[in-house]
Each structure stands twice: as structure tokens, then as C-alpha cells.
Structure 1
Amino acid sequence: MNATIKSISSINIKFFHIHIFELRNITFDSIKINTPGDSPNIDGIHIADSTNIQVANSVIGTSDDCISIGSGCTNLTIFNVLCGPGHGISVGSLGKNVGEKDVIGLNVSNCNLTGTTNGLRSKTLQSSPSRLKATDFVFEHIIMNNVYNPIIINQNYCPFANCPKKRVLEKRYENRVAYNLVCSEVAPCEGVELSDISLKYNDNEKQPKNTSICVHVYGSSNGNVKPDPCI
């Protein structure tokens, strides 16, 4: 399938405004999504099991992820998207179900996130029934304004009440930390690069002692990276 879906507005929809599943070669251009930030867990655009999908020139305000990316996605492009309110742009949750597929090739560029809970996030359940890869992600030219948790990799994610004690660590890690990179001991994160990043706390906020947390993550930082990273 080859198609362009353009200039559509979606207001106050339940669950997902747009659900992209098992599609190929689709461009979503100039989409407007609007849901109050205090609504119950409404995603803007959810993409799963799809290839060559582009979301561009769009404005998304909702109560959960502006754009969420599930398993089985390859070659996704997100360009010139305004996100807020919401939970930012997220990969996952991954690892919830048996037989989930890899997520390979994600490019997010020239986006603006304002007033969101998270910025750029990848989350994997801490006890996954299947092993999968999430690789070849590039995030560049992103502007964040009043974003509570800017950059997150969380491989100990668990949204359930009966989680192991690692949930306590998860709560501590996701607390106004600029770079929150918490990976698995069994399958650590490799090849992570932080380059030319400038994140500043609001003038009325006291900068916490720990602005960067790294657990089982390996990579490098290059150029001007502020606050100081842990890799």
C-alpha cells in the first residue's frame, strides 16, 4: 500500500486517535490531534507491525504518548511534530507479549515537545517472555520546553501493582533526571551516543544532585553535552 493521509483533525477520541497496524509505505501529513491533558491514557498515534511509516508536520496534544511505537516496526520517520501536552514520543512498552518482533530504524527530527511528562523514551518490561531488539534509533534537532523527564531508556519498566522490588528503583530513576538510562544486566544497552545536547532546569527549579543515571549502558558522549552525562 502506498498512500498519503493529510490534513485530518481528531478531537476527544477514546483510546488511540490513530492506530497504524500492519501497514506499509504510508505518510501522515499535517495531522491535528487534541485531547485534554487530564483525560485517561489517550495516545495520539500508535504504530505497530508496520514498515516505512512517516508522520510529519503535525500537532499532537493528548494525555498519554503523542506518538507511541510498538513491536514489529521498521524504518519509521517522525519529522516536524509539535507534541504537548502528553507523555512525549515513546518506543514501547516492549516485551509484554510472546512473539513480539524487533523495532529497527527510527528517525525523529525537528520536533518540539512542550509541557510533556517525558521527552524521548524507550521502555521495556523487566520480565519479558520473548527476546527482541530495539536498534538504529536517531533523535536529532529536538527542542524541549518544560519537559519533566527529557531522555529515558527504561528496561525495568513495570506498570503493574505486583512488580518486583525493582519498581522502587524505577520510581527513583524517573524523577527529574536529564538522562535516565536504565538497562538490563542480561541485555545491556550498547552503542548509545549523546552528542551536542543542552538541557537546562527552569530558573525556579533547584537542580538535583543526580542529573544523569546510567545502569548497564555503554556508549559515548561527544561535543557539548549539558548537564554532564554518565557515559
Structure 2
Amino acid sequence: MEMKKLLSIFFLLSTILCLFTGNASAGGVFNVLSYGAKADGKTENSKAFLDTWKAACNATGYAKFVVPGGTYLLGPVRFTGPCRNVRTMAVQVQGLLKATTNLKSYPSDTWVLFGWVDNLILTGGGTFDGQGALAWPFNECPKKKHCKILPTNIKFVNTNNTVVNGITSLNSKMFHMAVLHCNNFQARNLKIIAPANSPNTDGIHIERNSGVSITQSHIGTGDDCVSIGQSNSDVFLANIKCGPGHGISIGSLGRYKNEGDVRNLVVKDCTLTGTDNGVRIKSWENSPSVSNVVNMTFDNIIMNRVENPIIIDQTYCPYHKCDTSAPSRVRIRDVSFKNIRGTSMSPVAVLLDCSRGVPCQNVKMQDVNLRYVGGQAGVQVSSATCNNVKAAYSGKQVPPPCQ
């Protein structure tokens, strides 16, 4: 993990933000109210927002797109570049954006998209409210493999050097944030909120990226707090409070042909409370092609009444029945679980269920202390289960190592 590179990028972008804040007039300030937006919570503002973006994107130097306080009803919008003469694009959302609830008005699986733009800064303390409660009954994805994908609250596609700071995502119809094909993406001080029973409301899903940092955030949803999909490298997650939800997950992987590798992940200094899983790597059986999960570090993680605190699951199947005719072809190696402590609601606090076709390699367990508090009759202490892996152990081990 190139931590020095990530830190240097962050400080560089922070410097850009400071310079921009002090010199916004160099490129101009573009206020959505000046382009016809109405902050009355009733007027549909897509055209006004897009007109504001167009003007900002055509500016020179530093451009600042401003959404003042108030409530704005907003349909699906795509804020796209390239903005060829804009050195930094700052989007300052101070108000409450409320997504239209008519699913027929969404031509794709996206509500707000930022794409093909460099040096983007999204800040302001505002809220993106997906109003997902009316859409969740129409989500069939938990039951069907082929289903209609509902809109993501905020999607970042093909951006370089992006900073997201102090934004709230509320009740997305499906994923809250998706980061796709991006380089050097920094997010911090996020609040991502949805009920525990909201389907597929992953907090942040990342896929096909290089250099992602998510820190100092609170994520509580009905699915993974953070899900790391295929083809990601140099991912850093720290100081995240997760819960409710399904935990922090790598995967699911191995579902599609020619998936890219996941390499160099660090998850540290996080707290998970009341989640279905803690830190997890999951892959499907019968993978159509080979891929790799390499160099994963989970360090200093607190589990508070978590159902499955540590889990590698290479027989992942969220449906009633899956194809199990062949083992997973996702190869997992160089995985370290360090200083992971707290309480487990399941008697099996550590489950390392690796592929029978490509067993996990070089899995290390150091200073693990997970007490069972679930109260199942006849069970008083936690245990570990291991299949197709020989882990290396050091320091304190509760539950005891697999035999």
C-alpha cells in the first residue's frame, strides 16, 4: 500500500481547496438560484442545475458551483466533463437535495452523476436524500440474480483527483455512493444513513479504481458499509464507524468473466456495531475465470456484538440456490488480521472458508480477541472454523486457532 503517495495526494488536494476557497472569483461562482432553481421542495430543478453546471464547466481557472441552503427537488442529473479550461471544479452543496420518487423518470441506475472531470471537490455539508422508502418494495435483487437496478444516490465515474468532504447521503434507493474507474479519490467526514432493513443500500461501492481513501466517516445502512468490488488497487479505509449493515466487504468476486484483481487494501482503526458481518472477503463458487485477492490488511478493528466478526466466504450465495458444480477460482493470499477485538453474536467468531480448488495462502492471525455473547444454549465460548487454509497465529487468540 503506497501510503505516502495517498497522503501526499491528500495534502496536495487540500492545498488546492484552500487556494480555491480564497480565489473563487478567478473562474467564477455559479449559483443555481441564478439559473432558475427554486428551493421550495416542490419545483423540479434538473434543468436549472444542469444549466449551472454547463456555465461552470465552460469557465476558466477555478469554478465554484453553489447550491445554497434550502430544499431542492431534483430528477436524474449528469454533471459531466471534460471541463477543459477549469483547473479545479468545486461543488458546494449546502442545501437538501431530494430525489424524485417516480422511478419511470430515471433512464439509468443513477440519480446524481459526476463524470469525466478532473480535480473535483464536493463539499458544503449538504444532504442527498434519495427518498428510497417508496422504491425499496420494488427491489427484487435480494431474490433474483437478474433484476432491475434501482438508482444510486451519487456516482463518480472516470474522475481524477477527487475530494469529497462533509456530505450526507440519506435513504438511497439502492447504493448510496459508487466510485467507478476513478484515480486518486479521497472521501472523509461522510454520513451515510438508511434503515437496517433497506435492501442493497451499500454505503460506498468501489470498482475498477486506483488510489481510494475513505476516512473519518459514519456509515449505517441495510447492506455493506463499504463494498470493494473487482479491479481495485491501493485502497485505504480508516476511522469508519459502521452499523447497522453487513460490514466491510471485499466482494462479492468471481461472478463474471475476466474480473480484475483486488490488490493492496488496508482497513484500520474502524468500529463495527451490530452488523451482520465484520470484515469479510466473499467470492462465488463456479467462477468463470481466475482472479486474485492479494495483500489485504485488517488492523485495529473493534467489533461490538457483530454476528460474524472475521469471515472469508468462498461459497458465497445470497440466493436460494447457486451453481456449486465447481469451486471458486478467486485466489486469496497475503491476508493479515491484526488486533481485532470485541464481541461476537455467533459462536463461530472466525470463519475461514476458502476455496477447495485454490486454498487461501499466507493468512495471518495476530492478537485476535473475540468473545461470544450471543447466548446460544450450551455455548459459552467462541470458536473458529477453517476450511482449505492453514493460517499462521501469533499473540492472543480468542477463539483458539483451528486445529
TM-score, normalisation: structure 2: 0.53
CA distance in 2 between counterparts of 1:145 and 1:210 reads: 14
Which residue in 1 is equivalent to 2:277? 118
Instruction: Tell whether the 8 Å contact from 2:347 to 2:372 is kept in structure 1 after alignment.
Output: no
Is 1:182 the equivalent of 2:353?
Answer: yes
1:160 Cα deviation (Å)? 2.9
> Which residues in structure 2 correspond to 1:157-168 (within 5 Å)?
157-163=316-322
1:203 Cα deviation (Å)? 7.3
Is 1:26 the equivalent of 2:185?
Answer: yes
Is 1:88 the equivalent of 2:247?
Answer: yes
1:194 counterpart letter in structure 2: M
Instruction: Tell whether the 8 Å contact from 1:43 to 1:64 is kept in structure 2 after alignment.
Output: yes
1:202 Cα deviation (Å)? 1.8
Which residue in 1 is equivalent to 2:364? 193
CA distance in 1 between counterparts of 2:371 and 2:240 reads: 22
Greater strand content: 1
> Which residues in structure 2 correspond to 1:145-224 (within 5 Å)?
145-163=304-322, 176-202=347-373, 204-205=375-376, 207=379, 211-224=383-396
CA distance in 2 between counterparts of 1:36 and 1:86 reads: 9
Instruction: Tell whether the 8 Å contact from 1:112 to 1:144 is kept in structure 2 after alignment.
Output: yes
CA distance in 2 between counterparts of 1:65 and 1:203 reads: 22
Which residue in 1 is equivalent to 2:262? 103
**Equivalent in 34, 40, 51 of residue 210 of structure 2:** 51
Corresponding pairs, count: 224
2:233 counterpart letter in structure 1: T
1:198 Cα deviation (Å)? 0.7
Instruction: Tell whether the 8 Å contact from 1:179 to 1:229 is kept in structure 2 after alignment.
Output: no
Greater relative contact order (Cα < 8 A, sep 6+): 1
CA distance in 2 between counterparts of 1:79 and 1:215 reads: 29
1:219 counterpart letter in structure 2: A
Which residue in 2 is equivalent to 1:228? 400
Give structure 1 stretches of 5+ with no counterpart: 167-174
Instruction: Tell whether the 8 Å contact from 2:285 to 2:323 is kept in structure 1 after alignment.
Output: no
Task: Please give the secondary structure, in 1, of the residue aligned with 2:306.
Answer: coil
**CA offset digits 1:27-51 (Å, max 9, x no partner):** 1010000000011221000000001
1:154 Cα deviation (Å)? 0.8
Instruction: Tell whether the 8 Å contact from 2:231 to 2:260 is kept in structure 1 after alignment.
Output: yes
**Equivalent in 301, 312, 332 of residue 142 of structure 1:** 301
CA distance in 2 between counterparts of 1:58 and 1:18 reads: 13
CA distance in 2 between counterparts of 1:121 and 1:68 reads: 10
**Measured at CA, do residues 3 and 222 of structure 1 come closer, stay the same or move farther in structure 2, by a change above 3 Å?**
same
2:370 counterpart letter in structure 1: L
1:74 Cα deviation (Å)? 0.3
Which residue in 1 is equivalent to 2:195? 36
Structure 1 range deviating more: 61-70 or 215-224: 215-224
Give structure 2 stretches of 5+ with no counterpart: 1-159, 326-345
Greater helix content: 2
1:199 counterpart letter in structure 2: L
CA distance in 1 between counterparts of 2:395 and 2:258 reads: 39
2:353 counterpart letter in structure 1: V
Question: Over aligned residue pairs, what C-alpha RMSD do you find?
Answer: 1.9
Structure 1 range deviating more: 184-193 or 196-205: 196-205
CA distance in 2 between counterparts of 1:132 and 1:203 reads: 36
1:52 Cα deviation (Å)? 0.5
1:222 counterpart letter in structure 2: S
CA distance in 1 between counterparts of 2:258 and 2:302 reads: 35
Structure 1 range deviating more: 101-110 or 221-230: 221-230
**Measured at CA, do residues 69 and 194 of structure 1 come closer, stay the same or move farther in structure 2, by a change above 3 Å?**
same
1:94 counterpart letter in structure 2: L
Instruction: Tell whether the 8 Å contact from 2:286 to 2:323 is kept in structure 1 after alignment.
Output: no
CA distance in 2 between counterparts of 1:74 and 1:152 reads: 21
Task: Please give the secondary structure, in 2, of the residue aligned with 1:65.
Answer: coil
**Equivalent in 174, 192, 195 of residue 15 of structure 1:** 174
2:360 counterpart letter in structure 1: C
Identity between Structure 1 and Structure 2 (%): 41
CA distance in 1 between counterparts of 2:213 and 2:274 reads: 24
**Equivalent in 159, 162, 167 of residue 3 of structure 1:** 162
CA distance in 1 between counterparts of 2:368 and 2:235 reads: 23
Instruction: Tell whether the 8 Å contact from 2:381 to 2:399 is kept in structure 1 after alignment.
Output: no
Runs ≥4 in structure 1, deviation > 4 angstroms? 203-206
